[in-house]
Amino acid sequence: MPTRLRPFVTALLLLLTAAFSFDTVPVDWAMVAKIREEGLQRSRVMDFESYMTDVLGARLTMSRDMQRGQAWLQAEMTRIGLVNVAVEPYMDYGVTWDNEYVALHLLEPDYTPMVGYPIAYTPGTDGRKVAQAVVVDLQVREDLERYRGTLRGKAVLVTPPAAIDLAALASGAPRRTVAELRALEETVIAPARPAPPRTVRRTDLLTAAEKSAFYKAEGVAVVLQCESGWIGAVRGYGRPGAREDGWSRAGMLASPAVVAVTPEHYNRMVRILGRGIPVSIEIEVRNRIGDRVERAANIVGEIPGTDLADEVVMLGGHFDTWHASPNASDNTSGVAVALEAMRILKAVGARPRRTIRVALWSGEEQGLFGSRAYVREHFGNPLDSAVGAKPGYEKLSAYFNQDYGAGQFRGIYLQGNESARALLTAWMEPFRDFGMTVVSNQSVGSTDHVAFDEVGLPGFQFLQDRIPGTGGHTNLDFYDTIQAEDLMKNAVVMASYVWHAASADARMPRKTRR
Ligand SMILES: [Zn+2]
């Protein structure tokens, strides 16, 4: 090339590059600047986080706690300035269940207060009980005869001692490494899965329901268990079978009292009993169980759109939690981020083309009940001929979710939607300084964007740093381990993504289907 032409060609190439990276997917830098200033200099995200974790506390889907929480949530959304704030009941969920009191002590051979929490949807102990502890190993039908008539008034330890998980001791707030991010960024083509080996289920194995019925019939004082080696933590969820019996009062009362104990306290009792030395405990659990089936609900609110107001961009996360802590990370942090993103957009005077709607779900922890019911009701499902697509199906652009703990966004999962790659990549550009750089082609699950994705709607979950020690689904998930900067940045990114989706010329492209 003649030397005198070089500057011209270089300029042309630069122009072409610019055309591809910016003109094809515009980034609204002026709005990004406003969002960043509001969200990084006048953030309220930790105020939301603190109110929900410190004042509201745990919010099990069908509980008095949750009803109190949802009343606050509606009021707060109205205070932020959202419109069409609404409670959307979606199903008869069951009776309410709330833990009101628990006290657990080792009396003999050495006094120690112990840490335990009742499993959700179980009854209390009917007063304070002193009980001898015994290890019970109930596996198959013939085991029943070995224990029949021996367990009345006993505290039965029904799980093997927990293997302590030392990895949970990792300290600090580590970020994903460059190598990890690079691996997430690389396109992965999942290999075809080999056919699973044939499994033969022994017909004489006892089910969880059968074991529970046996303990109840035998009149145990309490069932003690430990299903996690997480140091210092109680991991306890709901009673097996609760979902199947529709969280019914009868189902709850048919269960024995069940308490999950920290691995240290549980293993200690097992070791003492292994020496042939008696263990006695004192326990009292009071659980309040409702007497009528009530409807579970999601809470929604909007910033109305302008010229494309009938089209919708959604964001959100699940407001419900498990019951043993406020679950500051899972998913109070996601709710705080969604609320703060909406507050930022209101504060900067955003007037989006499409309506921006925040949805804070319930029933997620028991199986995505709230988000799935919402999607079925508002958008339908063209992949299921019994449901079909509703008119709203074509009006939704995209849904953005936070629910993988309280770590900072480092990218976003495409969820297999290659047509969305250009947009999601371009909208990330203003946040390189946050360390948000990765568009991963991976599909991820276990939370509410799945409800959208599984019916063919664009639903996205952000790729986050994983902060150890913040115990999701445990008694240890409090405000103190939440990193303020992480949530501030997440709210800014969330606000910017929904703003760009709401302002784009076209709705978010969808996955191609055959
Ligand atoms: Zn969650």
How confident is the model over 337-365, as pLDDT tens digits? Answer: 999 999 999 999 999 999 999 999 999 99
Give residue 311 CA to ligand 1 midpoint distance, Å.
27
Give residue 486 CA to ligand 1 midpoint distance, Å.
17
Task: Give the mean model confidence (pLDDT) for residues 454-476.
Answer: 87
Predicted confidence band at 22 (pLDDT cuts at 50, 70, 90)?
A: very low
- How far is residue 504 CA from its own chain's centroid? 29
Predicted confidence band at 188 (pLDDT cuts at 50, 70, 90)?
A: confident
Return the structure tokens found at 237: 């969820």
What pLDDT is stored for residue 20 in this prediction? Answer: 44
**In whole angstroms, what is the distance from residue 163 CA to residue 156 CA?**
19
What pLDDT is stored for residue 172 in this prediction? Answer: 72
Strand 83-94's sheet: what is its strand order? Answer: 83-94, 294-303, 354-361, 308-318, 396-401, 459-464, 409-413, 438-440
C-beta of residue 342 within 8 angstroms of C-beta of residue 82: yes
Give residue 273 CA to ligand 1 midpoint distance, Å.
37
Q: Is the dihedral of CA 334, 336, 337, 341 positive or negative?
A: positive
Those residues with Cβ within 8 angstroms of residue 465's Cβ, 6 or more apart along the chain or in another chain: 173, 174, 175, 176, 407, 408, 410, 486
Return the structure tokens found at 184: 């997430």
What pLDDT is stored for residue 468 in this prediction? Answer: 63
Give residue 202 CA to ligand 1 midpoint distance, Å.
34
Asked if residue 18 has pLDDT above 90, the reply is no
C-beta of residue 494 within 8 angstroms of C-beta of residue 402: yes
Q: Please tell me whether the peptide bond between 331 and the residue prior to it is cis, using omega within 30 degrees of 0.
A: yes
The model's pTM: 0.92
Asked if residue 322 has pLDDT above 80, the reply is yes
Asked if residue 465 has pLDDT above 60, the reply is yes
Asked if residue 5 has pLDDT above 80, the reply is no
Those residues with Cβ within 8 angstroms of residue 183's Cβ, 6 or more apart along the chain or in another chain: none
Give residue 485 CA to ligand 1 midpoint distance, Å.
20
Give residue 322 CA to ligand 1 midpoint distance, Å.
9
C-beta of residue 406 within 8 angstroms of C-beta of residue 483: yes
Give residue 15 CA to ligand 1 midpoint distance, Å.
45
Predicted confidence band at 466 (pLDDT cuts at 50, 70, 90)?
A: confident
Give residue 83 CA to ligand 1 midpoint distance, Å.
26
Return the structure tokens found at 127: 């007063």
Give residue 290 CA to ligand 1 midpoint distance, Å.
25
364-421 pLDDT per residue, tens: 999 999 999 999 999 999 999 999 999 999 999 999 999 989 999 999 999 999 999 9
Give residue 496 CA to ligand 1 midpoint distance, Å.
23
Task: Give the mean model confidence (pLDDT) for residues 57-79.
Answer: 98
Whose tokens are 């990114």? That residue is: 493
Those residues with Cβ within 8 angstroms of residue 203's Cβ, 6 or more apart along the chain or in another chain: none
**In whole angstroms, what is the distance from residue 156 CA to residue 134 CA?**
5
Give residue 12 CA to ligand 1 midpoint distance, Å.
49
| SS3 per-residue string spanning 279-321 | CEEEEEEEEEECCCCEEEEEEEEEECCCCEEEEEEEEEEECCC
Give residue 448 CA to ligand 1 midpoint distance, Å.
9
209-236 pLDDT per residue, tens: 999 999 999 999 999 999 999 989 998 7
Q: What is the largest CA-CA distance in the chain?
A: 100
Higher pLDDT, 397 or 194: 397
Question: Could you tell me which of 380, 370, 373 has the C-alpha nearest to residue 455?
Answer: 380
Return the structure tokens found at 468: 């150890």
**In whole angstroms, what is the distance from residue 223 CA to residue 215 CA?**
8
- Length of the chain equals 514
Give residue 29 CA to ligand 1 midpoint distance, Å.
32
Higher pLDDT, 18 or 40: 40
Those residues with Cβ within 8 angstroms of residue 136's Cβ, 6 or more apart along the chain or in another chain: 147, 151, 156, 157, 158
C-beta of residue 487 within 8 angstroms of C-beta of residue 49: yes
Question: Could you tell me which of 457, 460, 471 has the C-alpha nearest to residue 327?
Answer: 471
**In whole angstroms, what is the distance from residue 95 CA to residue 294 CA?**
6
Predicted confidence band at 114 (pLDDT cuts at 50, 70, 90)?
A: very high
| SS3 per-residue string spanning 343-359 | HHHHHCCCCCCEEEEEE
Give residue 447 CA to ligand 1 midpoint distance, Å.
6
Asked if residue 2 has pLDDT above 70, the reply is no
Give Cα separations from 501 to 52, 272, 295, 442, 454 (angstroms): 28, 61, 33, 21, 20
Give residue 130 CA to ligand 1 midpoint distance, Å.
37
- Write the burial class of residue 50 (CB in 10 Å: 0-12 exposed, 13-18 middle, 19+ buried): middle
Task: Give the mean model confidence (pLDDT) for residues 57-64.
Answer: 97
What pLDDT is stored for residue 205 in this prediction? Answer: 94
- CA end-to-end span of the chain, whole Å? 48
**In whole angstroms, what is the distance from residue 301 CA to residue 484 CA?**
25
C-beta of residue 485 within 8 angstroms of C-beta of residue 474: no
Return the structure tokens found at 405: 């703990």
What pLDDT is stored for residue 396 in this prediction? Answer: 98
Give residue 100 CA to ligand 1 midpoint distance, Å.
24
388-389 and 380-381: which strand pairing? antiparallel
Residues with CB under 5 A from ligand 1 (ion): 330-331, 403
Task: Give the mean model confidence (pLDDT) for residues 89-113.
Answer: 98
Asked if residue 147 has pLDDT above 50, the reply is yes
Asked if residue 8 has pLDDT above 60, the reply is no
Give residue 473 CA to ligand 1 midpoint distance, Å.
8
Asked if residue 321 has pLDDT above 70, the reply is yes
What pLDDT is stored for residue 1 in this prediction? Answer: 43
